[in-house]
Amino acid sequence: MTYSIKEMFYTLQGEGAHAGRPAVFCRFSGCNLWTGRESDRAGAVCR
């Protein structure tokens, strides 16, 4: 199985039990979930 990655970035985890720990985040292209804007929250439905 292959995945199309839109963006990868290294940062510190910002929340939860691992807050402050280094982390690598991957954003996948074609993801239909919430963008982070309040106006998009209602339409963020996993398909």
- The domains of the chain are located at 5-43
The arithmetic mean of pLDDT across residues 13-40, rounded, is: 85
Looking at residue 25, the DSSP 8-state letter turns out to be E
- Residue from 23, 43, 22 nearest 33 by CA: 43
Q: What does the alpha-carbon distance between residue 23 and residue 20 come to, in Å, rounded to a whole number? A: 9
Q: Taking Cα atoms as reference points, which of 25, 6, 5 lies closest to residue 14?
A: 25
Residues 32-47 pLDDT 10s? 676 778 887 777 776 6
Tell me: pLDDT of 13 over 80: yes
